[in-house]
Structure 1
């Protein structure tokens, strides 16, 4: 054996050893994961838990019981209470009605667009009374099922003592009831306070997550208590320690195997295909002749088969068969991956694919025929192909004629389908679709007609929505203006008859308030009309956005303190300048702040974020609403629409609409988002292009 043979043999041995190490380290990773998977409700996180009371296992023991008891005493009370509908709130009934109302407007003959929304809703409640009751009864049935489920959860808990009482109903598995403090661990919520032993429990990060609702438990007669007996607690701690020991060993194995796998795989990928480090030539073997696209498909099929097979096994079986099942799959997959790595290093990843080969041969053939100037090839194709075509046509002449007739019939049928479809659409049926199979000019024409129909349908729907919004606008304007106007008329009549100076003074003050309210409404309506028409003059200038905000917030500081709001402004270190009209921009921001002052939850935080978007500056206002936001963002942007539907606040409902119009005439964008009770308003203004001094 010469020196080259010895070098090659040595290199092959190294590759086999490293390949084996990769497989062994991978098996170690699988083994560690399988070992942890056998632990009930635990993972590698248990390794970092200091004691049982700070563990995930403890929380999983107490959380279902605390949650079930809290729901029983604060919501369900008893099975009789649920059956009588005691758990169904006004909001639930409103949700039922809102889910059925669209069906009434679309299908019911009773619905009359000319009537007001209130009159239509009244007719809806009368016509759909039976369906509303059915939905309510179904909700009661669902609540009863959940109630029974909670009772079943409590019944299955034998190693934990519990007691709950709302003053009338009682839930317990402890005949001694209140004697919980004699146990080694307990949690008691009673008389507006909580008692927890040992206190270490409160340091558990998950504890606050599961007891947020219990912290609101402040009814005088309500009590929720749980406790571990000494035997039960000792057993739980013993199981936790055993699980932690298993998880710790598995974690060490996982870390060591992962590091070893990464290092050995990286080294194997580095040396694969080369006989030595100095060898620049890449050597391929039989497996590398497999096309790369087929290689990838085979690799994906192999992984899918492994996942499907492992998914059918239990945890215990998976732990035992990890070497006998996963390792052969991994060896084959690793071999395929190494083959792909070789082609990547050789820069033949795409060229060595079946698709590339077929396309390359096809385009080469086309190129040789039409671009290479090879008259010989063209002559052969003409001499050989034309007689063959004639011969085929001669022997299958009836079939050729039949095919031509069938093809012509299909084209005429497609044309007639388009003709009939156009007639239906012309008659006003915008929902009609012209169905034409296949491809080509006729199918393309049918598709274009369908697209035009969709556009017409969208335009009609937009016009209907516009008419509805106009009707709602007139209704809301009439309602909001009529209220103070009626009060003014009433108090003027009283003023004419009153002789008591004190009463007269009181009536004058009321008249002053109502007239100011009427003036505010008319001013806002006038400003909204001017803003939407775009007739307001705009003078764009260079404005420091942060200075504008801080100065403006200083002016409204009294309102901020009165509502106990905390404003947080997040902004980049560098100054940001926008191209905007200072007065109009501040008017838009002022409208948003006014909206926040009216509807934000007292004592909450308001976040204002300033972000540099490149060519634009994004200004985001976020606050928590004091009212339930049960309408969409699009509805909030409509004029005279308010977040609280009772319309008892002093706002006109025009603030957001005015702000949007003012921002748009400054070449900006205005949008809002609603996520639960979180209200978010976003203003995007172009950045000033001049140099910052």
Structure 2
């Protein structure tokens, strides 16, 4: 016990340690993500960039200033162009007019719905001319404000140096506006009409360069001139800054990778052992937290994420210091909830252990119980009441609800028609027809009942046909078996009347004796079979020691056993086994089986008799190898006047097995036979004595 306790405690400690490791790795990964976000705007690409000129940072330095310049020269051009309305497009004016026209239709008394749209619009333009003009002036003022805002932004750019012109308008932040002058700088970009020069040349391989060229390509190429240059001091400063950021982000990136690997491995381990006390456990052990419904659990997880985001946004200025104390408790709580979901997934109760499922299950179960236990009237009332409630609850999707109801009604009508057609076919005599109705419910139950009736009819017809066939065979076989000795008797009586030789007379009398005895056996067996089949034989059930009965009975027939050189193998329990049966009738059944064995068993073979105590009953089994080929089924062998030798050359009546079965049946037992090749097996099952007393 002490060893098991230590092992169990060690497993608990391991779980706790791994749980803490998951929380710490998760918190560390979050902290590094925040650091990368602050350092480089969340861009991990800097880790894989080779140098500054191939970096996104280099493009970003030029992108902002070029974007403002191209917008300024391409859209606004100059103040005079804006004041003249050159920046106001027809679409903008049309939108403003449409808004004013909507106001005119709603508020103006001049609007006449009886007039055509064109006439109303002309009246609108005359009445709202001042407002339309004011709207145009407002658009011009907005563009002028945006134009001066762009100029102010550009004035703040000391680096990089820029020059842009469209042949009329020129904007620059340096006196060096000649192309050759700008080419003296360590890095520059020159876009002139359809040509471009970029230095250093490796910048052309920068995957982010398209962000600059797209802005340039938006200008009129005929008079386009755009120069951008970087001074050596500016470039060196940016390269140094980029290298420092790259080193910090790279360190954070690999640290983040380490935390993520630790997080994944430790979390997978927790998932593996969640709900288990050992790796050999097959079941899942749940605790108090696992009682929480899974959908409520999911909502709490989402709430924890929202809480974390809200707290982080609230202390964003001090996020570097507070990210760990904020993340650890929320991560621990969230991990416990997630592991609870994992346990239910393992336990295959992920869906069933939800509040929604429980509520719907109880609702449907209640309605189902009422529906299934009620009459058709109750079900009709449920449908009449339930459907309007369903429609009211789903009014926003009423067409869908109506469609489902129509589909349901059509399905039930088709089912009813299927049953109706099936009944017509059965009524017309097609008793082999089966009505196929899937699912459950009144119609399915009705179809099953009708199919049961047809099954009963088929069984009754088959039994009647079998009975008629057996009667025919009985008459044929009885006639044949009785006529054979009777014919011999008549023949030998005629011979006896004419014979004078005493020796032959004696021979004829011996034959007559044999044939008369054979005829007596047949008539006695036939009479006994009739009595056994009718059940009119009186029975006296008593306690019988089945082992003693078998051993004594075998002793009585020992002469026949020795004559046939048979080896009987008897297997029975050590303790005595008592059954409740009629001794005489039981021995008659066993005697018939033994007689069958003596007649048909292969000489010098083994015969097995097994007695088994099955608890509530005792099974007696006889097994022997047939001397004849058993080319007949077990069912046929149980019929009247059937023999193992179809040639009917043996001296049996063919009634032995049938009589044995009937005698066992009236003693509340069971009798059956099995044929496997040449192996013949007969089984008698009778109730134990003690069970009847109880």
Greater gyration radius: 2
TM-score, length-scaled by structure 1: 0.49
Scaled by the length of structure 2, the TM-score of the pair is 0.49
